[in-house]
Structure 1
């Protein structure tokens, strides 16, 4: 189960790095502002967490709710450590709500990942 969670978190961070690169290029070379991309970035964040949970559930092949929640919680803990250790601040209430929704989204991805992997076998 641990390797499945690590695969899911790895996929999340790979996708985040990819999307960050794409959006940084868009912001650098066009006249688009960061404010105009807020909802697109938020939607892609949820999609990324869902995909990470899906990969985790597909890799584990059982207990998708647990795998997805483990993936989401590990992701949130890494982000919390980065923000606390790197920026010396904790999450705001709005960020806690976003992180909670990220965990729920990863859980849904984990459940669907298990169901999709079990239907293929």
Structure 2
């Protein structure tokens, strides 16, 4: 259980936060220096979010080495609960139905990433001569 939680909270959420900051910076630069349409930007951010959550679930399950579906769901739920908390605190508004469907997609993406990550081949540490 300790390895599972370390994978979720350490590697999974950590990699999601880092990748989200990088993608947010790239999208901000695109918005500032190009004439990109806001609808196109929304579609890019949707695909980026789903991909990043799938990658976070993959890393969490790979490092946790067990129960990939649980690692993925926990990774997705921790991220979604954090986003809802930030919205409640900073925007003082509850989530909409559209946001709930988006958050559900993020959790499913993390779940699928976790299922893939737990089944990825491990690097052998044996010294075969």
* TM-score normalised according to structure 2 size: 0.88
Q: Give the paired residue count.
A: 120
Partner of 2:127: none
Structure 2 unmatched ranges of 5 or more? 125-129
Tell whether the 8 Å contact from 1:64 to 1:114 is kept in structure 2 after alignment: yes
> How far apart, in 1, do the equivalents of 2:76 and 2:103 lie?
8
> How far apart, in 2, do the equivalents of 1:105 and 1:27 lie?
26
Change (3 A) 1:86 1:51: same
> Could you report, residue by residue, the CA deviation over 1:12-68 in whole angstroms, capped at 9, with x for unpaired residues?
111110000001011111122322222121111100000000000100011001100
1:48 equivalent among 31, 52, 61: 52
- Secondary structure of residue in 2 paired with 1:116: coil
1:78 CA displacement:
0.4
Partner of 1:5: 8
Bigger drift between 34-43 and 46-55 goes to: 34-43
Q: Which has the larger radius of gyration?
A: 2
Matched, 1:66 2:73: no
* TM-score normalised according to structure 1 size: 0.94
Structure 1 unmatched ranges of 5 or more? none
Tell whether the 8 Å contact from 1:61 to 1:117 is kept in structure 2 after alignment: no
> How far apart, in 2, do the equivalents of 1:75 and 1:9 lie?
7
- Secondary structure of residue in 1 paired with 2:95: coil
